[in-house]
Structure 1
Amino acid sequence: MTWARAALISVCFVALLWAVEVLDVLWSRDLDLYGVRPREGEGLTGVALAPLLHAGWDHLIGNTLPVLVLGFLVLAAGIGRGLAVTAVIWLVGGLGVWLTAPAATLHVGASVLVFGWLVYLMVRGAYTRNVGEIILGLTLFMMYGGILLGVLPGQPGISWQGHLFGAVGGALAAAMVDRRRWTRQAPPAGWSRL
């Protein structure tokens, strides 16, 4: 029943994002002020809250389907594993933005999770050696690899730092969560550990 729970958690998380945006609109966008504000002490609150906040309905609508699909895929391999991966991405992404983004800017949005989950799903098979996860990673790369160009600077008003550090968080999560699983298990016949 992991798939059903993964679907339920993904839907509930998206419902939370929409509820937060409704409150944000009702409160005249005051909630967005709790996003990541680089190198400001109060801006550290945004590390925890920024993925829940969005810069309007278009921003939230653009993140909704990727959050549903990628969040589900990350959780479907195990709820605990998926939550651990999400925590690493959330923290690395937020702190990366806080440390590197230009001063006097504000960063919000679940894109940090989207980029992190995408990279995680694309690379985890390299650690798990699971054929299904390798095929899923290659399929996602062929279908959505182009969006990874969003980690490059260039689009005004887009937090490429959030995209970049979300992706870095996804790669780190695969190395931390799935490499640990790999080293605890006996390797398949013919495989050697490095």
Structure 2
Amino acid sequence: MKTEQKLKFSPRVFTIPLLFVFAIWFVYWLEITFGWNFNKFGVYPRNFSGLKGVFSSPFIHSDTKHLFNNSVPLFVLSVCLFYFYKEVAVKVLIYGGIITGLLTWIIARESYHIGASGIVYLLFSFVLFSGIIKKNYRLVAVSFITIFLYGSMVWYVLPIKEGMSWEGHLSGLVTGIIFALLYKKRGIVKEKFEFSKTEFDTMFDENGNYVPPVLEEETELKEINYKYIYKENEPE
């Protein structure tokens, strides 16, 4: 069995997700401690100044509940990303996050859109669809676990709850699918099995024609005849 990439543990599997979660909690702590409000650094659609939110909005949250609801899936899905997709993990997180923010800036309502939920949906979508597309049994298992844990999130890409940025969720979901397709041949792919040749395989040549097996007795007889002929023709 061969794969393009073997699963090996790396410290950044946990360090990068932990740093990301720590960063969003630290920003929220600054807001609470000093009475600051960073909402104006969120994505404000179709406004040039609102583009700064593409980079800053994932670190800004409205309240503790909003922050906690994003922290757990963000950490779990980030760990999955950096363990199972380590070859492309950083690209998916950074470039995918930027594209998610830009799509939100294009399609969203005129309001400040904040929170890491767009990144959460990006990771959810990428892990889910990448495993299915690659048809690797490990990744498919991760996809089903992702559905089991966070499958209900799919409903929130629709405008069913007031005050929630469903546009950011939808942008993350779409971006995750795009990156799953883009990197379908990178990292771990469907297992390829190579079978060793058996005695049955040696009975056929490369064109599929039957080749009778040579018995050991026949081989010894040919060697004896060869020696006899060679000795008979040998000059005295």
**TM-score calculated relative to the size of structure 2:** 0.72
CA contact (8 A) 1:35 1:53 kept: yes
Q: How many angstroms does 1:85 deviate by? A: 1.1
| Deviant stretches of 4+, over 4 Å | none
Give the corresponding residue for 1:100. 107
CA distance in 2, matches of 1:139, 1:25: 35
Give structure 2 stretches of 5+ with no counterpart: 1-7, 194-236
Moved more, 11-20 or 1-10: 1-10
Q: How many angstroms does 1:101 deviate by? A: 1.1
State percent identity of aligned pairs: 28
Give structure 1 stretches of 5+ with no counterpart: 190-194
Larger Rg: 2
Counterpart of 2:18 in 1: which secondary structure?
helix
Q: Deviations over 1:61-115 (max 9, x none)?
A: 1111111111111111244411111123312211111011112x00000101111
1:1-194 maps to which residues of 2 (within 5 A)? 2-103=9-110, 105-177=111-183, 179-181=184-186, 188=192
* Corresponding pairs, count: 187
**One-letter identity of the residue aligned with 2:144:** L
Counterpart of 1:30 in 2: which secondary structure?
coil
Counterpart of 1:181 in 2: which secondary structure?
coil
Q: RMSD of aligned C-alpha atoms?
A: 2.3
Distance 1:6 1:13, change over 3 A: same
Q: Deviations over 1:93-140 (max 9, x none)?
A: 11111011112x000001011111111111112332311001110222
Counterpart of 1:36 in 2: which secondary structure?
coil
CA contact (8 A) 2:136 2:191 kept: no
**One-letter identity of the residue aligned with 2:71:** T
**One-letter identity of the residue aligned with 1:166:** G
Moved more, 85-94 or 46-55: 85-94
CA distance in 2, matches of 1:136, 1:102: 34
